Structure 1
């Protein structure tokens, strides 16, 4: 489930001094996190070394930004709704027609899967070269399955920019070989390439019933639904196997009555079923085993009422799903009813418009392990205790990358749940890397109970700014959204790297101050956070032991329960903590990434991702496009209506000394002169002139950018305004980026 409808609690709490906040923390817990005894003196048990997080994968991924290219590297960016922010590593490479990115292989491979993006409404291809020789096959690219809009979801923007396409190369390559991808059309953005050594198609099991023998068409030209149904009916009476040989099969109607049967293919690269709704059934006697084939749908929009899923409903007890390639569906597995002791393992789930997998109540003893999920439009892995309690279920050793509208892994209610040894990367917009939550969405809901174990997980670049709250969500979130956390929540052995905002967040997302209790954090490495290590926003308590932090952006602790007067949040120092003893001292403002105690970075663009407004906008060319970090998108004012202006709120008064103004750096943007001045304000209402009006020439031959220097005497500015009175190339003000720097 999504976690996007949380309303935004306003922050109007009186400012307190650092000394007062520190004294309050000491009074509450007896010591402040970071004032810890040496590790040898700790009384808590030392956590065992964690197993390697993530799935065992058959491929090796290489980021495009680390490969050789003559294209344009974009990012890093953490701004919702931008291409780079949804990319793996928050960076990618944009290719114009004829431009390339070349990967050097680290091992054997005969196949590649590429994550890419093209502008909405466009198609094209990537030519493939191996060691300089062009192959007779290429990779088709399309925007058909991307650029998703969900206007009914509060806080959502156009998202899901990337898609995946794969190709068998037709030859065996070795370490050191080079694979070059060349755009045959303009504006193809390449994010990451997965190189894999794919085995030959596996043989038909003895005694299996082939769908081809029942009339299925392996060319995909004719619909094979009837043949699949006949084969399943023939096999399930004896608990037999339905065989899907190598080929492509169209299954245009959903299957039901699937029980006591194995449906097996020759491998996900070889046996491909084209179906947007494969199995849809409310119940099953169980013992269903789905393995080793691909189901690729044609889902291009998210329709929540439609069962556009690989499995919708129940497989029944004792079932399994393994070795599957699932793509272009709404949800991979939306599981309701009896799915006791289900095992979901070694699957690849790509490009779903909503969840990857959701245990939607009444799931007991389910094991979800060693799966790879990329580019989900909601939670990649979720348990939601609706109608009945999920219990004794485990998400373990999964790799989750780039969920673009919610959490990597989310637990909404349930009893005795385990989340361990997972790797989550690059959450975006409305979610955390891992969320442990009592957000119910609907009734009857069963809150967290028993023991919730979160152990050995690694979270990289996770957490995001929630536009509904207007403040960030941490890499790991414990959320008393609709009811207090009464379960025992144990968080051990967590590694958090490069979180754009906070590491640990304790919150009541409904804004009602429900308590987060019974939580312990033991043994954690935090390597880089944009704001704080602990973001405590609701009454409750946590004991933290052995949490070692480096690269803290602002302060160690933000401790500001909401609503004001709802209670206190107690941080108990269990010992062995280091690197985060400072306290944010102003509950009326949110810490900005990198904007606290460290010296400000003069090379940081202060305007990037900040709120922008304008006197007018033409069509879709909104002011936010001038601060999104992407020079190919732009703001354009109302035409034939000078003067026009764009204003960026930098968040606080800054000594801006340099403003860079850009237009898209492509030849179709012919040279032009804009007449403009700079104005500044600290309150957003009274503006003074910073730089007088003059003509500035924008020329694509020199990057279509101009730099405006501000005098040393210019006052600090929070609201930076660019006022335009003329444009020789178009009857409107136009900027693709407005950038502000301290020097």
Structure 2
């Protein structure tokens, strides 16, 4: 029988129903997170928003709190704690600080905030925009607080968007193990001023077969370590022993037996340069090694692992603010276990296995908590043999990713496609899946992708919980557009709640069997079954029994369902623009293009200010004989009357636009509903509707709360 459990999320609390025999998804974490939007604030809440490139879309829970100078957010401590970590964002190019208050008393300590490690650009990745808006900063409070105490953060001298606060009871510094070699005995400087690189090397050489001790303090390394084998590197705790370097270990091979534990490695990586080994570990630790209790931050990648890493265990670590992957098993990983780690704000896949040169084999990602990978997937398996993805908790993926991707995308050769049995079991996915800007339609929360070759492995997806996916729950696609089959797939036991469009998004030939998959709150239809290319074959869904709540099928393969849209309606009075994809030349803050087609006249799009002309473009999904537009501003009397000068343009291909109605002044007056109607000439045929605003007497920007398009005159 199922049982209800409460799973601690970086994005709040989720009550999920899972089989009683199954462990709770996610990592055992030493802290409890509280969302800023659930706290008391004198600032302004932003979001929710799923639009690529906005602060709210990258926030956990898709919401956060913006503080101008002097404004604050006050958290109620959920547990006893003496330390705080804060995820935040400040405008590009700015720095500042947060004042900290405990039960109304201001602390002498402040939290420094900076944009230095944010606003990453990866122009060589198709579809990427500036991303990675958030950063993390931590503080030992110097006192113990109890559950129920009030902890306030106040913007001191910069605008700060606060996303989430982690409350933690940090243990005191551990003592030096008997017989260990301290790096300070070899001349390391615990003040962080001197260069401790040679001292670390000398300690490692002296401690072969034993322990290198890193006492409390900060240590600066100016170049990477190599030749690391048969040794334990141990600190006094990740809040006490800190190594400052962007390249800790860089070696292509090792005899193994390397154990790294209980300290922090914090780098200075501010951009992603793929040719640079700006990683905590680059290459190999060798067989039978381990990494545990580490705090890894401001690096390109946490662990980029190549060569022999057989039986490596990576557990109980924190990966924060990488500009690329958190961890990538880059071929030749056998028997590797990655478990009970916390990953926030990775700039690519949070956890990945990529079977380049040799297959990753018999390796697993288990009980990890992943939040806010802001470019790609939460977990990605690119090829490999007998791989397990189990009991992970993944939330808030963005732009180019799903919560979990099981894929034959090779990137480079020689690549080893999926083979054997791929086990995807007991995972919980929250607000995962995203609008792919390259495909102009979404990726599902859990994606099986025959990108470069057919799926020949047995893919077994069991005991899955998918909640609040903005688009679809399960997607089967051949992302390279060549129509390879996604087959040998079984989905057995899944709970889908509040999926924005469909439960199953089938876009490749192939087959899958579904058993005991229940859905509630389906936004459009149960199934979208439209393999691409159109003549590439069919996708067969076999009903294995026990399914409910998703029996309907999207009826029109020429259009992609939008969140909450429902099946196409032959009613000519239907608003063709509602729920459709909208883009703009610019937007101000949270007033993003999608607000103009969401069916809510109280939300609105506002263009970049003081930069006319600005335009909003709506993709109606198919070519339509549009005869009438209804343009709206919020009906509130607080909106003063204004006239916007608007040119209406149309296109059938999204590239070549013609003028449908020339520049005309339209009056928006709250006394008459703040609505303007535009008649289009008979014979107007368009799929893409563009409104170009060249003037506005009420505000220096283009503004629409709703753009409606109708077939009737």
TM value normalised by structure 1: 0.84
CA contact (8 A) 1:672 1:727 kept: no
Query: How far has the Cα of 1:719 moved from its partner?
Result: 2.9
Q: Which of residues 297, 312, 333 in structure 2 aligns to 1:327?
A: 297
Alignment pair present for 1:740 and 2:706: yes
Residue in 2 that maps onto 1:557:
527
CA contact (8 A) 1:108 1:175 kept: yes
Give the 5 Å matches for 1:385-400. 385-400=355-370
Cα distance in 2 between the residues matched to 1:487 and 1:457: 20
Cα distance in 1 between the residues matched to 2:382 and 2:166: 32
Q: Identify which range, 623-632 or 408-417, moves more after superposition.
A: 623-632
SS at 2:521's partner residue?
strand
CA contact (8 A) 2:556 2:568 kept: no
Cα distance in 2 between the residues matched to 1:438 and 1:257: 34
Q: Identify which range, 684-693 or 206-215, moves more after superposition.
A: 684-693
Cα distance in 1 between the residues matched to 2:533 and 2:327: 34
CA contact (8 A) 2:562 2:580 kept: no
Q: Which of residues 659, 666, 675 in structure 1 aligns to 2:632?
A: 659
Cα distance in 1 between the residues matched to 2:100 and 2:705: 37
CA contact (8 A) 1:530 1:593 kept: yes
Change (3 A) 1:638 1:632: closer
CA contact (8 A) 1:82 1:628 kept: no
Query: How far has the Cα of 1:82 moved from its partner?
Result: 0.7
Q: Which of residues 633, 644, 657 in structure 2 aligns to 1:676?
A: 644
Question: What is the Cα-based RMSD across aligned positions, in Å?
Answer: 3.2
Cα distance in 1 between the residues matched to 2:226 and 2:402: 35
Query: How far has the Cα of 1:563 moved from its partner?
Result: 1.2
Cα distance in 1 between the residues matched to 2:362 and 2:673: 60
Residue in 1 that maps onto 2:30:
58
Residue in 2 that maps onto 1:627:
593
Query: What does the per-residue CA deviation read over 1:561-585, in whole Å, with 9 as the maximum and x for residues that have no partner?
Result: 1112211110000000000011111
Give the 5 Å matches for 1:338-417. 338-417=308-387
Give the 5 Å matches for 1:541-580. 541-580=511-550
SS at 1:317's partner residue?
coil
Cα distance in 1 between the residues matched to 2:549 and 2:508: 23
Question: Higher relative contact order by CA 8 Å / sep ≥ 6: 1 or 2?
Answer: 1
Change (3 A) 1:121 1:561: same
Query: What does the per-residue CA deviation read over 1:666-698, in whole Å, with 9 as the maximum and x for residues that have no partner?
Result: xxxxx999641456677674645999534889x
Residue in 1 that maps onto 2:140:
168
CA contact (8 A) 2:395 2:403 kept: yes
Residue in 2 that maps onto 1:709:
675
CA contact (8 A) 2:432 2:470 kept: yes
**Unaligned 5+ runs, structure 1:** 1-45, 614-619, 666-670, 698-705
Change (3 A) 1:510 1:624: farther
SS at 2:360's partner residue?
coil
Residue in 2 that maps onto 1:3:
none
SS at 2:465's partner residue?
strand
Query: How far has the Cα of 1:186 moved from its partner?
Result: 3.6
Alignment pair present for 1:283 and 2:253: yes
Cα distance in 1 between the residues matched to 2:184 and 2:135: 31
Residue in 1 that maps onto 2:175:
203
Residue in 2 that maps onto 1:155:
127
Change (3 A) 1:725 1:295: closer
Q: Which of residues 479, 483, 486 in structure 1 aligns to 2:449?
A: 479
CA contact (8 A) 1:242 1:261 kept: yes
Cα distance in 2 between the residues matched to 1:176 and 1:590: 47
Residue in 2 that maps onto 1:529:
499
CA contact (8 A) 1:312 1:334 kept: yes
Give the 5 Å matches for 1:435-446. 435-446=405-416
Q: Which of residues 86, 90, 105 in structure 1 aligns to 2:77?
A: 105
Change (3 A) 1:622 1:77: closer
Matched positions, count: 666
CA contact (8 A) 1:297 1:328 kept: yes
Alignment pair present for 1:428 and 2:398: yes
Alignment pair present for 1:213 and 2:185: yes
Change (3 A) 1:585 1:266: same
Residue in 2 that maps onto 1:240:
210
Cα distance in 2 between the residues matched to 1:570 and 1:278: 49
CA contact (8 A) 2:242 2:265 kept: yes
Q: Which of residues 288, 303, 306 in structure 2 aligns to 1:336?
A: 306
CA contact (8 A) 2:122 2:128 kept: yes
Cα distance in 2 between the residues matched to 1:490 and 1:690: 57
Change (3 A) 1:214 1:595: same
CA contact (8 A) 1:420 1:456 kept: yes
Cα distance in 2 between the residues matched to 1:632 and 1:174: 43
Change (3 A) 1:528 1:339: same
Query: How far has the Cα of 1:611 moved from its partner?
Result: 1.9
Query: How far has the Cα of 1:470 moved from its partner?
Result: 1.1
Residue in 2 that maps onto 1:498:
468
Residue in 1 that maps onto 2:102:
130
Q: Which of residues 532, 535, 552 in structure 2 aligns to 1:582?
A: 552
Cα distance in 1 between the residues matched to 2:580 and 2:528: 24
Alignment pair present for 1:646 and 2:615: yes
Cα distance in 1 between the residues matched to 2:430 and 2:693: 40
Cα distance in 2 between the residues matched to 1:632 and 1:511: 33
CA contact (8 A) 1:439 1:481 kept: yes
Cα distance in 2 between the residues matched to 1:73 and 1:622: 15
Cα distance in 1 between the residues matched to 2:398 and 2:277: 25
Q: Which of residues 250, 255, 259 in structure 1 aligns to 2:229?
A: 259
CA contact (8 A) 2:73 2:153 kept: yes
CA contact (8 A) 1:482 1:510 kept: yes
Give the 5 Å matches for 1:287-326. 287-326=257-296
Cα distance in 2 between the residues matched to 1:657 and 1:67: 39
Query: How far has the Cα of 1:593 moved from its partner?
Result: 1.2
TM value normalised by structure 2: 0.87
Query: How far has the Cα of 1:722 moved from its partner?
Result: 5.5
Cα distance in 2 between the residues matched to 1:178 and 1:144: 30
Cα distance in 2 between the residues matched to 1:215 and 1:63: 43
Query: How far has the Cα of 1:650 moved from its partner?
Result: 5.5
SS at 2:205's partner residue?
helix
Q: Which of residues 500, 504, 510 in structure 1 aligns to 2:480?
A: 510
Residue in 2 that maps onto 1:180:
152
Cα distance in 1 between the residues matched to 2:481 and 2:26: 34
SS at 2:61's partner residue?
helix
Residue in 1 that maps onto 2:60:
88
Query: What does the per-residue CA deviation read over 1:154-194, in whole Å, with 9 as the maximum and x for residues that have no partner?
Result: 10000000000000011001011000000012421000000
Query: What does the per-residue CA deviation read over 1:225-276, in whole Å, with 9 as the maximum and x for residues that have no partner?
Result: 010000000001xx10000011011011100000000000000001000010
Residue in 2 that maps onto 1:25:
none
Cα distance in 1 between the residues matched to 2:404 and 2:276: 27
Cα distance in 2 between the residues matched to 1:216 and 1:130: 36
Query: How far has the Cα of 1:554 moved from its partner?
Result: 0.4
Residue in 1 that maps onto 2:116:
144
Query: What does the per-residue CA deviation read over 1:456-484, in whole Å, with 9 as the maximum and x for residues that have no partner?
Result: 00000000111111111010001111110
CA contact (8 A) 2:564 2:579 kept: no
CA contact (8 A) 2:661 2:680 kept: no
Cα distance in 1 between the residues matched to 2:114 and 2:211: 36
